[in-house]
Amino acid sequence: MGVGKALTQKGSERMRQFPQGFLWGCATASYQIEGSPLSDGAGPSIWHRFSHTPGNVLGGDTGDVACDHYRRWRDDVVLMRELGIRAYRFSIAWPRVLPEGRGAVNENGLAFYGRLVDALLEADIIPFVTLYHWDLPGSLQDLGGWANRDVAGWFADYADVLFGRLGDRVHHWITLNEPWCVAHLGYILGQHAPGMRDLWAGLRAVHNLLLAHGRAVLAFRQRNMPEGRIGITLNFRPPHPGSQSEQDRAAARRAHAYHNRLFLDPIFTGRYPDPIVQWFKDSWPETLQSDQDVIRAPIDFLGVNYYTRNVVVHAPGTGLLHTRVIRQPGPHTAMGWEIYPEGLFELLLWIHQAYGSPVLYITENGAAFEDRPDPSGTVRDTDRLDYLRQHFVQAHRAIQEGVRLQGYFVWSLMDNFEWAHGYSKRFGIVYVDFGSQKRTIKQSGHWYCGVIARNGLEN
Ligand SMILES: N#[N+]C[C@@H]1[C@@H](O)[C@H](O)[C@@H](O)[C@@H]2O[C@H]12
């Protein structure tokens, strides 16, 4: 079933036309671009603490300055307007709004985001607000953070402050960004803030993140904002077995259940994937029957973050799932991730078919490459342009198959603080000279501007 005109002849060109009103955008996150983490009454986040702890971030980089967006936000909105984006996904730093995570609101912090929203609307750019993109207030981590069941109420209260103060202008809300990374990288592997290596805590974080999401959705519904839409952003890595042996196929099923279904199933079906509950049986958290109803509070859209796939083999005693990812031949990004555009089509179709055809937004897709300006100052990032083009083609294929994909946010608007990699990995379609803070639209950014203007791809 096609949607819109799939391929239209335009002279000798063939266009892949996207549906009218398709939202082309870019995405960022507070700690990765803002800088000024403690300005105007903001409290320290777990990433402020983590990055200031020696050894946690490559090169000792921190988010103290980042892209200085907290001060340069007006110019950055002008930049977004130059790119012609229709929508901008950004996150709000919880500790800027509630410095202690609970209690008193920091009006300065709230005012920053109010000004940013007003400037976006003035520029005819639709704000998509992520309530949580990993910068938990440090004071809540002191109480156990995501491993403390009370966090669900703290998060819902924080979300409700923002619904009340920005809900008249912001109509698209994302509760959590990649809760899988929050639990797995932050509480189980310790590679991200808060740097815990505790399976017991990590699995409770999984459940409490889902509870927090559900409680925020219920708080949103209570506000009765008919124009409002709320969803969650999940990260996915479609796993392919390294061989057709039953062991490798079972390994891929385990990886699929843990990486792709751990949050999706409870939200859409009210149940955790059985293979995972069985796998972690001794450590699995106690849950209440009533939790399911909170977690599966209906959402209006699902945000999909896709970068690559994993080819997985059975590896006894290796890692959490006794699996190992096998590097594939062919092109990879600077993150060491295989470039596998077909994985985006496979993923979108699977979600569409297996979870009741939800409205989808690609809330992140992009690539890191070694970008350098040439002597003229131009950044010819053809590898990123090709990566995006190939993935846009797959998104178009999915729409042609009836997937209700309504927008695409490129990660990222600009080069930024790439978590434990610091500033060593550049994902932006805009180059940032972190010394001078000069922004330069890369070749991929200029190309993306054309895609948006045509709402489609030329072959
Ligand atoms: N790594 N990487 C790039 C990108 C990261 O910069 C985002 O903050 C995350 O939401 C997600 O992991 C994807």
Q: Which helix (H) or strand (E) holds 454?
A: helix 443-454
pLDDT for position 8: 52
Is 177 touching ligand 1 by the criterion CB < 6 Å? yes
Structure tokens at 288: 């209440």
Pairwise CA distance, residues 308 & 71, whole Å = 34
pLDDT digits (tens, 9 = 90+) for 166-218: 999 999 999 999 999 999 999 999 999 999 999 999 999 999 999 999 999 99
Helix (H, G, I), strand (E, B) or coil at 432: strand
Give the H/E segment covering residue 77.
helix 69-83
Phi and psi (nearest 5°) for 269?
-125, -15
Tell me phi and psi for residue 12, to 5 degrees: -90, -10
Annotated catalytic residue within 34, 338, 346, 364: 364
Do residues 147 and 188 make contact, with C-beta atoms less than 8 angstroms apart? no
Active site residue 401: no
pLDDT at 258 (0 to 100) = 98
β-partners of residue 10 are 13
Distance 5 CA to ligand 1 centre (A): 33
Ligand 1 atom at minimum distance from 235 CA: 11
Q: Is 418 tagged catalytic?
A: no
Q: What is the pLDDT of residue 217?
A: 98
∠ CA 50-53-56, rounded to 5°: 70
* The pLDDT of residue 2: 43
CA distance 276 to 265: 11
440 lines ligand 1 (CB under 6 A): no
Which of 210, 207, 189 is closest to 198 using CA atoms?
189
Q: What is the mean pLDDT of residues 284-306?
A: 97
Binned at pLDDT 50, 70 and 90, residue 3 comes out as very low
pLDDT of residue 1: 39
CA-CA distance, 148 to 139, in Å (whole number)?
13
DSSP 179: H
Place of tokens 């890369």: 442
Cβ of 305 closer than 6 Å to ligand 1, yes or no, is yes
Our answer on whether the CB atom of 113 is closer than 6 Å to any ligand 1 atom is no
Give the residue-averaged pLDDT of 371-383: 97
Which residue in the list 34, 178, 338, 346 is annotated as catalytic? Answer: 178
Task: Say if CB 440 and CB 373 are below 8 A apart.
Answer: yes
Q: How many CA atoms lie within 13 A of 358 on its CB side?
A: 25
CB atoms within 10 A of CB 167: 17
- Ligand 1 pocket mutation, candidates 364, 365, 384, 416, criterion most atoms within 8 A of CB: 364
Please give the Cα distance from 5 to 7 (Å, whole number). 6
* Cβ count within 10 A of residue 242: 22
Task: Name which of 364, 391, 405 is nearest 451 in CA terms.
Answer: 391
The residue ranking higher by pLDDT, 151 or 13, is 151
DSSP single-letter state for residue 124: T
Any atom of ligand 1 within 6 Å of the Cβ of 418: yes
Gap between the Cα atoms of 12 and 380, Å rounded = 27
> What's the pLDDT at 224?
95
Determine the pLDDT at residue 14: 78
Place of tokens 């053809």: 382
- Residue range 94-111: mean pLDDT, rounded: 98
Report the first-to-last Cα separation within the chain, whole angstroms.
22
Strand 360-365 versus strand 405-411 pairing type = parallel
Min mean pLDDT across 111-120, 280-289, 323-332 is at: 280-289
Backbone φ and ψ for 3, nearest 5 degrees, come out as: -125, 120
The token pair at 23 is: 């939202």
For 56-84, write each residue's pLDDT tens digit: 999 999 999 999 999 999 999 999 999 99
Residue 12, pLDDT > 50, answer no
- Quick: pLDDT tens for 109-165: 999 999 999 999 999 999 999 999 999 999 999 999 999 999 999 999 999 999 999
Confidence of residue 459 (pLDDT cuts 50, 70, 90): confident
pLDDT in tens, 305-321: 999 999 999 999 999 99
Calculate what percentage of the chain has a pLDDT beyond 90. 96
Beta carbon of 427 within 6 Å of any ligand 1 atom: yes
CA 348-261-157 angle, to 5 degrees, is 100
Q: How does pLDDT run across 340-354, given as a tens digit for each residue?
A: 999 999 999 999 999
Question: By C-alpha distance, which of 421, 413, 399 is closest to 441?
Answer: 413
**CA gap 272, 337 in Å, rounded:** 28
The arithmetic mean of pLDDT across residues 21-36, rounded, is 99
Q: Atom 5 of ligand 1 has which residue's CA nearest to it? A: 418
At 11 the pLDDT is 42
Closest atom of ligand 1 to 419 CA is 6
**Does 308 contact ligand 1 (Cβ within 6 A)?**
no
> Residue 22: its pLDDT value, please?
98
Backbone angles phi, psi at 49, to 5 degrees: -65, -45
Question: Any idea what the Cα angle at residue 233 is, between residues 184 and 290, rounded to 5°?
Answer: 75
Q: How many residues belong to the chain?
A: 459
Complex ipTM = 0.99
**pLDDT at site 7:** 52
Give the pLDDT confidence score for residue 13 in this predicted structure: 56
Name 365's Cβ contacts closer than 8 Å, sequence gap at least 6: 305, 306, 307, 344, 388, 391, 408, 409, 410, 411
pLDDT value at residue 448: 98
Global pTM reads: 0.97
Q: What is the DSSP letter of 87?
A: E
The CA-based angle 447-337-175, given to 5 degrees, is: 75
